[in-house]
Every structure is written in structure tokens, then in C-alpha cells.
Amino acid sequence: MDSPLAIDIQDLRKTYREGIFRKRRQQALRGVSLDVRPGEVFGLLGPNGAGKTTMIKILLGIVHKSSGTASLLGHAAGSQISRSRVGYLPENLRVARHHTARTALNFYGRLSRMSTQQIARRSDELLELVGLRHRDRESVRGFSKGMGQRLGLAQALLHDPDLLILDEPTDGLDPLGRSQVRDIINQLKGQGKTIFLNSHILQEVETICDRFAILAQGEVRAIGSIDDLRGTNAETAATLIVSHLPSDAIEKLAQADVTATTETINPDLQRVLIDRCPQADLDRAVDALRAAGASIHQIQRGTSTLEQIFLSLVQPQPPESL
Ligand SMILES: Nc1ncnc2c1ncn2[C@@H]1O[C@H](COP(=O)(O)OP(=O)(O)OP(=O)(O)O)[C@@H](O)[C@H]1O
């Protein structure tokens, strides 16, 4: 039998009700569907207010959904059994300052009703994994942000969950701290864990995630691997290498509704750059340039970065409430 999806969300909706008579409504999720497969590292991306935290809170059973379904590892989100198999690293986890790394893990382990022996054994493994084995008796007061975040990861992993939900795991870390957290995520993936993370640092997410969902205004705008997103993203840049480019080429392109810039490569060749260029724009640009007497030698389609795709899918819009 196939193992169940790590996360399965279908037509999930959440409307917050605010105000004295709870009359003001804010639709945070408007029919979101997505799936996370076992063993993958999945990135949830979206601008502020997109609904990411709301989704994570529903998955953890902290917030009730309005409608739709959400399950983790085949069990309803929020159920006792799904909670027991999920580890969570909240954004800015604050460990009480009187703790050392070891006493903090002891504290969290007892909260999860683990036995003293289990806690001791897991703490040894995890402190090793997160690189705090030799600093486990120091007060967390002296910890750097990166060390604190690594301790947070150890806390999330204590009960050996199959699925890890990480809220902004590298936020506020320096490049070294980010790379350490990235290495830990890769090791966990190697151990077969599923990781669902939410991050604003797109370059980083691009390097560690297998697939992504881009959420905006409570809706999924795109879902898939970076190659899938490049394929479905109609706004990829285009570069045309041309000769005999007329001096009024930019105006001719503007008349064809295409915004472009040009660069000279050598006395015979020019480059025409079109930043966001759906196929229809490219077709019109080619027609306009040829009609103006230019000769097209080459057309290059740029490979968009995750950030470019994100920006093309998430245009700023005024906040909407019902
Ligand atoms: N408890 C709440 N009561 C009312 N509205 C809320 C509540 N929590 C979130 N919202 C609204 O729901 C929408 C989605 O918010 P959410 O915090 O889920 O977005 P987000 O993508 O996590 O944003 P950010 O990146 O800023 O954390 C926003 O319009 C927000 O104002």
C-alpha cells in the first residue's frame, strides 16, 4: 500500500470574524489545495498576509478551519495522532533563559511525556546533529541566534516526528547560521523526514526545497518544482540577438505593446531584452522587429529564478476584506 501524503489539503478555507459582533470578516484562505509527498522538502512561500501562518496553525490544530479538509500523514490535522507525528519549530522560539541546551531538551521532552531515558538518548543524538554536543551545558543566555535556532530544531525533533513544520527556520541568521540550518535540513531529508517550511528568503528556499507552493491572498498561485514553475510561468524573460536593428526599434516595439531595452554587442549585432515576456509578447516583438527590417539571429529564453517567478505571480494588490 502507498504511504499516505505527508500533508493533504483540499479546498481549505478560513474566514476570521472580527469586531464586536464578529461581523467583520477576513478571508485568510480561499479554497487552498496542496499536497506534500513523504520525504520531500516543501517550501510555502507568499507575501505578508498571504495566509501562510493560518495554514500552518490549521495543520497544527491551533486554529479551526472554516471548511475543506487538511490531513497530516493520513490523519486529520489537529488530531492527537497527527500531532504526535509532527515536530514544529515556531518563528522566534524563545527558550527560557535559565536553561542550558540539555535542560531545555529535558523540559520539552517532559512536555511531550517522554521518559527520562528516551530524553537522554534523543538529546545526545540531536545535540550531535545540530552541532551543540560540546556546548550542551552552557546557558542559552550566551547563545547566538544561530545556536538558538539549532536548539529549536533539536526541540522540534525530540519525539522523532516524521514530519517537520518549520516557520522561517533561517530568519535573522547570518550566512554561516543559514548554511548550518540548511545542512541540518539536508541531513534530515537524508533520514527520510518530510519537511514543510515557510520562508521569505527565496534564494535559499530555491536551493533546499524539492517543491514549492506560492500563496497570495489566500489562494495558491502556483505549485511544483522550480522547473514546473518555470514551465508554467508565462513571464520568463526573452533576449533576442539581432542585426540591422533600426534606431526607432524601441518605439516600434512599444507600438506592438512590448516594453524592451537594447544593448550593442558589436557594430553588427544588438541585443533586445524583454523582461517579462509571455509567448504572445514574444510573437509580437518578432513580427515588429522583422517588419522594421531587423534580422533575428537568436532568441534566448531566460531561466527565471524563484524570486522572479514569485514576483511575477504575486503582484501587490490592495488588501481585500468582505
Ligand atoms: N487572528 C486573526 N484574526 C483576524 N484576522 C487574522 C487573524 N490572523 C490572521 N488574520 C488575517 O488573515 C490574513 C492572513 O494572515 P496570515 O498571518 O495567515 O498571513 P501570513 O502569510 O502568515 O503573513 P506573514 O508573512 O506576514 O506572517 C491576513 O489578512 C491577516 O490580517
pTM for the full predicted model: 0.79
Give the separation between CA 173 and CA 178, rounded to whole angstroms. Answer: 6
CB-ligand 1 contact for 28 (6 Å cutoff): yes
Q: What is the 3-state composition of the chain as percent helix, strand, coil, each rounded to the nearest 5?
A: 35, 30, 35
CB-ligand 1 contact for 49 (6 Å cutoff): yes
| Closest ligand 1 atom number to CA of residue 50 | 21
> Phi/psi of residue 39, each to 5°?
85, 0
CB-ligand 1 contact for 43 (6 Å cutoff): no
CB-ligand 1 contact for 54 (6 Å cutoff): yes
Give the separation between CA 234 and CA 168, rounded to whole angstroms. Answer: 29
- pLDDT 10s digits, 246-258: 999 999 999 999 9
| Closest ligand 1 atom number to CA of residue 51 | 18
ipTM attached to this prediction: 0.97
| Closest ligand 1 atom number to CA of residue 46 | 21
Q: What residues pair up with 223 in beta bridges, in sequence order?
A: 213
- pLDDT 10s digits, 113-163: 899 999 999 999 999 999 999 999 999 999 998 899 999 999 999 999 999
Least confident of 30-44, 213-227, 232-246: 232-246
Q: Whose CA is nearest to atom 13 of ligand 1?
A: 28
Residue 105: burial class (beta carbons within 10 Å; 0-12, 13-18, 19+) = buried
| For the chain, percent of residues with pLDDT exceeding 90 | 66
In the chain, DSSP assigns E strands to 7-18, 24-36, 41-45, 67-72, 75-76, 86-89, 163-167, 194-198, 211-216, 219-224, 238-243, 261-266, 269-274, 295-301
Instruction: Please say whether the beta carbons of 159 and 81 come within 8 A.
Output: no
How far, in Å, from the CA of 55 to the mean position of ligand 1?
10
Ordered by where they begin, the domains of the chain are 7-230 (3.40.50.300), 238-302 (3.30.70)
For 51, the enclosing helix (H) or strand (E) is none
Instruction: Please say whether the beta carbons of 230 and 309 come within 8 A.
Output: yes
Rg (CA), the chain: 25
Three cell numbers, residue 72: 497530516
CB-ligand 1 contact for 53 (6 Å cutoff): yes
Q: Residue 320 pLDDT more than 50?
A: no
CB-ligand 1 contact for 48 (6 Å cutoff): yes
Q: Residue 165 pLDDT more than 90?
A: yes
pLDDT of residue 1: 53
- pLDDT 10s digits, 195-218: 999 988 888 888 899 999 999 999
- pLDDT 10s digits, 84-122: 999 999 987 888 889 999 999 999 999 888 999 999 999
